[in-house]
Amino acid sequence: MDDRHSTYTGSRQARLMAEVQSRARRGGRPTSAREMTRQRLSLGQLLRAAGPGLITGGADNDPAGIATYSIVGATVGFTMNWLLLLSTPMLIVIQQMSAKVANVTKSDLATLLRTSFGARIATPAVLLMVAANVITMGADLLAMGAAFELLTHIKFIFWIVPLAAVMAFVTIFTDYKVMSKYLLWLVAVFSAYIVAAFVARPNWGEVLQSTIVPQLSLSPDYLIGAVGLLGTTITPYLFFWQASGEVEEKRGVQGFSRRNVDITAGMIWSNLTAFSIIVVTGAVLFSHHTAIKTAADAARALEPVAGPYATVLFAVGIIGAGLLAIPVLAASAAFGVAGLAGWRRGLGRNPRNAPQFYVVIGLAFLIAMEMAISAIDPIKALFYSQVLDGLIAPVLVVLLLMLTSSRKLMGDFVNGLPTKVIGWAAAAVMVLADVALAYQVATNGLPG
């Protein structure tokens, strides 16, 4: 870690604890460090709270995620809307834990896993995340190329290399502060899906009922859809990006209130986007029994029923999602590898000061680009990336719960009872999703 950063954040922690102790000595009401960090935010402060949480929420809906939600909507309609409602508080709590442990310890998640649990646990957890990220990047590049082909009628293969080159350049050579502003603006692109949901004119009464009343099924389509939806929503790379983003922002423990607003807004925006995609495809494609395999297929299929505007909105959303998510996927992979190896890391660093970190980012783009050019089967790519995410996500959630419940590590900032309950519930739900996935593979084989 940067010595100046450690000194700066350490002094803030020291001042905070000194104030707590001073109040206790003066005979006032004992005040914990946690209580000292709570603050009421003005409207201006709320608006300025946007940061890693909102970017994380946008990155959660990458083109691969859009494809997953589209397939869910086209295959089973609105019947999984309730899962999005259920996963929202879980996603918020998990991301808040990722941010909190980084704010308190001033360290990224991969480093904490290595120093707290040892290389035997940290290495497979991080490397599985990295593998899933690179596979997802390849599928995302392919989806972006297909979306550009849909809009321009220029074959998708000609878009992949320029897209990868531009995003790699921005990720490697742009300062974090500049890059974060670029990513924040891209989050707004997902409003296209909210507009598309109204253009599709669904039966809103049916949509609301499916969101509030759980609908369960043991059909293979439903089970694989549920696994894909949960794996796409609560995905491991978000944990690493959130923690690293907090370190980059240097918000510290005194930024807890802003952090919580940022993360809550980001996760709600993420699941609102996913909800809108399912509404669009459920209203238009499921009702007309239209089979799709990719997000671009969904965009094409919308035109005959919902008109060209829905198609354009859907395609623009895919492109914007890729521009936002792919740099985050590459950076979170690099943070993971660098944290394991103990290398210098950080998007705020010059490439010459953290060469290994940026080499990992470059390699991630190169491998993903090669996968996309080789015309990988996008459905298989999605499936295998979700398998890896599904395997590691509940393990990482449990490790996060252990880290953030350690008083030795967290001091007064250990998890409260609500966080523990929701966190363990999230781990249990994801384990059930893994069991459902194993059942699907054992009884019906691999999809696609």
In the predicted structure, residue 175 carries a pLDDT above the cut 90:
no
Residues 6+ apart with CB under 8 A from 41: 49, 257, 258, 261
Query: Alpha-carbon Rg of the chain, whole angstroms?
Result: 22
Calculate mean pLDDT across residues 407-423.
90
Sign of the C-alpha dihedral computed for residues 368, 370, 373 and 375 taken in this order: negative
Calculate mean pLDDT across residues 236-257.
79
In the predicted structure, residue 109 carries a pLDDT above the cut 80:
yes
In the predicted structure, residue 16 carries a pLDDT above the cut 70:
no
Which DSSP state fits 352? G
Q: For 209-213, 369-373, 384-388, which range has the lowest pLDDT when averaged over its residues?
A: 384-388
| pLDDT classification of 271: cutoffs 50, 70, 90 | very high
| pLDDT classification of 36: cutoffs 50, 70, 90 | very low
Angle between helix axes 355-373 and 119-152 (nearest 10 degrees) is 50
| Confidence (pLDDT) at 126 | 92
| Confidence (pLDDT) at 123 | 93
Contact between 430 and 390 under an 8 Å Cβ cutoff? The reply is yes
Query: What CA–CA distance (Å, rounded) separates 8 from 354?
Result: 21
Provide the whole-model pTM.
0.81
Calculate mean pLDDT across residues 377-385.
70
Calculate mean pLDDT across residues 93-98.
92
Contact between 231 and 386 under an 8 Å Cβ cutoff? The reply is yes
Contact between 219 and 299 under an 8 Å Cβ cutoff? The reply is no
**Higher pLDDT pick, 36 / 318:** 318
| Confidence (pLDDT) at 42 | 47
| pLDDT classification of 446: cutoffs 50, 70, 90 | low
Calculate mean pLDDT across residues 398-412.
91
pLDDT tens by residue, 43-79: 444 445 556 677 877 778 888 888 888 888 888 889 9
